[in-house]
Chain A
Amino acid sequence: MKPFTRHTGIVAPLDRPNVDTDAIIPKQFLKSIKRSGFGPNLFDEWRYLDRGEPGIDNSKRPLNPEFVLNQARYQGASILLARENFGCGSSREHAPWALEDFGFRAIIAPSYADIFYNNCFKNGVLPIVLDAAVVGELFKEIVTHPGYRLTIDLHTQKVSTPSGKEYSFAVDAFRKHCLLNGLDDIGLTLQHVDAIRAYEQQRRVVAPWLFKS
């Protein structure tokens, strides 16, 4: 996993609530058995005018000029600004894989669906929660300022705007640690093998019907 420390980037505004993971990456792309390559199909149904299928050349497909990620001013965006309940629906980790593969390092929204929020951290994407009023303010500023960039500092837990305003955000200490250092948490968990074994032993005594052998 890529560590996340400090990042400055162009912000793309996706102005709708309840963006679900089916919209982020439609199901036909879930047939892949790989972890990478989902970026060209991020928001596929909104981004292109035709129907996407795995394996076709996306560079030849007709783009929907209205969709925000297709507009010239948001090319190279690496921060996504979104509305309430972003990432609701299915548990597919293909959603953060697609966002990451496209080039997004962070998302800013008033709220997220739990599973999606969790999945982001496992993939080096930082989901930031800011107050709905602040998010509303940012949407306005972006529209009036082409090339709008934000700086995100995970160490200090601050988002700063071009005009120098700063917004603090909360992040769980363990997740922050993993993200800052790009740590694989399976390795971390396996440092506690003895605790897991001890738990299993007492569980076998209390609820032996849960174990086959």
Chain B
Amino acid sequence: MAGRALYDKLWDAHVVRSDADGTAFLYIDRHLVHEVTSPQAFEGLRIASRPVWRVDSVLATPDHNVPTDGRARGIADPVSRVQVETLDQNCQEFGLTEFGMSDVRQGIVHVIGPEQGATLPGMTVVCGDSHTSTHGAFGALAFGIGTSEVEHVLATQCLIQKKSRAMLVRVNGSLGAGVTAKDVVLAIIGRIGTAGGTGYAIEFGGAAIQSLSVEGRMTVCNMAIEAGARAGMVAVDQKTIDYFHGRPYAPTGEMWTRAVAAWRDLQSDADAVFDHIVELDGSSIAPQVTWGTSPEMVVPIMARVPDPAQETNAVKREGMRAALKYMGLEANTPIAQIAVDKVFIGSCTNSRIEDLRAAAAVIQGRRIANNIKLAMVVPGSGLVKQQAEKEGLDKLFSAAGFEWREPGCSMCLAMNADRLEPGERCASTSNRNFEGRQGAGGRTHLVSPAMAAAAAIAGHFVDVRNF
């Protein structure tokens, strides 16, 4: 028998039952819940008088709507407030653990899961949020679901699923200085496209991925969904195991030893078969900047804005034209000449302590440029914020002219008060540059934390490698 891929192992271990056509009930170990995609699911349970199947599998926190400044004053927008209060009430009514808005452990759901050890290797992890793929960084099978499925998992602990195909993206070699996990994943998406992973679960492997820290791997898996794959994953190694040691929800004592023994098997067998393999050379990846309204519209910092006239596919050409128009860019403009108005360092892609350290290292006592209207840093969780403050990063950011905020999704999707005005251009460490994502008419360029910090100082995009 051929060996099994990591995805096969995770899948097999969670099948409750399956039909002849491959439709399976997949058992869910961890269910993360936030305020935006859950109210209708709880309402559904109430209407059908159904209890939550396994209360201890759920961890909830509000993140999308929470304000990032003056939190003690509460939420000004009444509609946002109702949504957050509804989550509080639902958690109370159904007896679920929630890190509420004033809990220091509150934060973006994809940051706090691993931080607490609530996400562990070998688990199936779901959340009504597409970036649940983040949790695959630890050898878990993690993917986003819709609200009907949130209700389904709450009521049954299972999902009805068909197995995806398995893809391996192997990034060989070593990454150059100044090149980060964000650049790696943007380069991958630039290569395979935003639909390249549709129907697949992607395993990221190769020397360059192994060399990444656990947090860097989270950044890569976070954006698997931007390549169309519901799930992204990385095999377990010693770094993964060390990461979880001593986390609040992680096992201890004899249970820890047993768990670690099981986790060591969470990697693809040497003779595993993949439906598709993509290879990239890590040493040829440069810092990346998106220029359009889809994450696949990405180029290296030294490049120019692509010219639609050079595109032979008519549908793509029109897409490029529409993107340039929306972005207010001329073809062939050097990326390094594009000036920005705002800078956002945050989101579940890049708001962990290492991201903040990387951004802070670029600043080195300099100040943001005069043309920058707002530069903000939004830590991913209350604990990340606390740690950063212990290291003095908040002071460094503030002295450079950045605003230092409370944790949440913030300007990643602008459901709270943080947003772009029409026409404003933003260097953002988030994961989506869709039209209007950061505010109606706003223009988003996706970059790494170091590149965002450098753009804030320079006032335009700049190659962080010679900055």
A interface with B by C-beta (< 8 Å) = 16-18, 20, 22-23, 26-28, 30-35, 45, 51, 54-55, 83-85, 88-93, 96, 111-115, 118-119, 122-123, 172-174, 185-186, 189-190, 192, 195-196, 199-200, 203, 206-213
B228 touches A189 (CB 8 A): no
List 23 interface pairs A-B (beta carbons < 8 Å), by A numbering.
A16-B322, A22-B434, A22-B435, A31-B79, A33-B40, A35-B43, A55-B79, A88-B228, A91-B129, A92-B37, A112-B198, A115-B146, A174-B160, A186-B50, A189-B158, A190-B156, A196-B53, A200-B54, A200-B157, A203-B27, A208-B255, A209-B251, A209-B256
A174 touches B228 (CB 8 A): no
The residues of B that contact A18 with a CB separation of less than 8 Å are: 194-195, 294, 319
B414 touches A34 (CB 8 A): no
The residues of B that contact A208 with a CB separation of less than 8 Å are: 255, 258
A192 touches B319 (CB 8 A): no
The residues of A that contact B259 with a CB separation of less than 8 Å are: 207, 209
- A173-B21 Cα distance, complex, nearest whole Å: 8
Those 4 A-B pairs whose CB atoms lie nearest each other, nearest first: A209-B251, A122-B148, A33-B39, A119-B146
A27 touches B414 (CB 8 A): yes
Surface stretch bound by A, among B80-88, B170-178, B207-215, B346-354 = B80-88
Additional pairs, 19, CB under 8 Å, beyond known A22-B436, A22-B437, A114-B229: A18-B294, A22-B413, A27-B415, A30-B415, A33-B39, A33-B83, A35-B40, A35-B147, A84-B315, A88-B194, A92-B37, A111-B198, A113-B195, A189-B158, A200-B157, A207-B262, A208-B258, A209-B120, A209-B259
Count of interface residues, chain B, beta-carbon cutoff 8 Å = 76
B277 at the interface (CB under 8 A from A): no
B19 at the interface (CB under 8 A from A): yes
Give the residue of A186, A200, A206 whose beta carbon is less than 8 angstroms from that of B48.
A186
- A200-B156 Cα distance, complex, nearest whole Å: 12
B interface with A by C-beta (< 8 Å) = 16-17, 19, 21, 23, 25, 27, 29, 36-37, 39-40, 43-44, 48, 50, 53-54, 56, 64-65, 77, 79-80, 82-83, 86, 120, 122-123, 128-130, 144-149, 151-152, 155-158, 160, 162, 164, 194-195, 198-199, 228-230, 251, 255-256, 258-259, 262, 294, 315-316, 318-319, 322, 413-415, 432, 434-437, 440
The residues of A that contact B294 with a CB separation of less than 8 Å are: 18, 20
The residues of A that contact B151 with a CB separation of less than 8 Å are: 186
B16 touches A45 (CB 8 A): no
- A54-B256 Cα distance, complex, nearest whole Å: 49
Q: Shortest distance in angstroms between B5's beta carbon and chain A's nearest beta carbon? A: 18
- A105-B194 Cα distance, complex, nearest whole Å: 26
A84 touches B195 (CB 8 A): yes
Who on chain A is nearest to B29 by CB? Answer: A210
B255 touches A209 (CB 8 A): yes
- A89-B64 Cα distance, complex, nearest whole Å: 16
B436 touches A190 (CB 8 A): no
Give the residue of A93, A173, A212 whose beta carbon is less than 8 angstroms from that of B56.
A212
Give the residue of B17, B146, B199 whose beta carbon is less than 8 angstroms from that of A93.
B146
Who on chain B is nearest to A45 by CB? Answer: B436
- A26-B262 Cα distance, complex, nearest whole Å: 43
Who on chain B is nearest to A213 by CB? Answer: B56
A189 touches B40 (CB 8 A): no
Who on chain A is nearest to B48 by CB? Answer: A186
Q: Shortest distance in angstroms between B44's beta carbon and chain A's nearest beta carbon? A: 8
B130 touches A91 (CB 8 A): yes
B255 touches A23 (CB 8 A): no
A33 touches B158 (CB 8 A): no
Give the residue of B17, B228, B437 whose beta carbon is less than 8 angstroms from that of A85.
B228
A199 touches B16 (CB 8 A): yes
Give the residue of A20, A96, A190 whose beta carbon is less than 8 angstroms from that of B434.
A20
Give the residue of A27, A34, A174 whose beta carbon is less than 8 angstroms from that of B19.
A174
The residues of A that contact B262 with a CB separation of less than 8 Å are: 206-207
- A93-B315 Cα distance, complex, nearest whole Å: 27
B79 touches A211 (CB 8 A): no
A31 touches B319 (CB 8 A): no
The residues of B that contact A213 with a CB separation of less than 8 Å are: 56
Give the residue of B152, B157, B164 whose beta carbon is less than 8 angstroms from that of A185.
B152
Q: Shortest distance in angstroms between B49's beta carbon and chain A's nearest beta carbon? A: 12
A33 touches B86 (CB 8 A): yes
Q: Shortest distance in angstroms between A76's beta carbon and chain B's nearest beta carbon? A: 27
- A196-B28 Cα distance, complex, nearest whole Å: 11
The residues of A that contact B440 with a CB separation of less than 8 Å are: 26, 45, 51
The residues of A that contact B258 with a CB separation of less than 8 Å are: 208-209
- A212-B255 Cα distance, complex, nearest whole Å: 12
Who on chain A is nearest to B148 by CB? Answer: A122
Give the residue of B65, B198, B414 whose beta carbon is less than 8 angstroms from that of A114.
B198
B194 touches A31 (CB 8 A): no
Known: A189-B25, A209-B255. A16 touches B319 (CB 8 A): yes
Who on chain B is nearest to A22 by CB? Answer: B434
Who on chain A is nearest to B79 by CB? Answer: A31
The residues of B that contact A112 with a CB separation of less than 8 Å are: 198
> Which of A31, A123, A190, A207 has the most C-beta atoms of chain B within 10 angstroms of its own C-beta?
A31
B415 touches A28 (CB 8 A): yes
The residues of A that contact B40 with a CB separation of less than 8 Å are: 33-35, 93
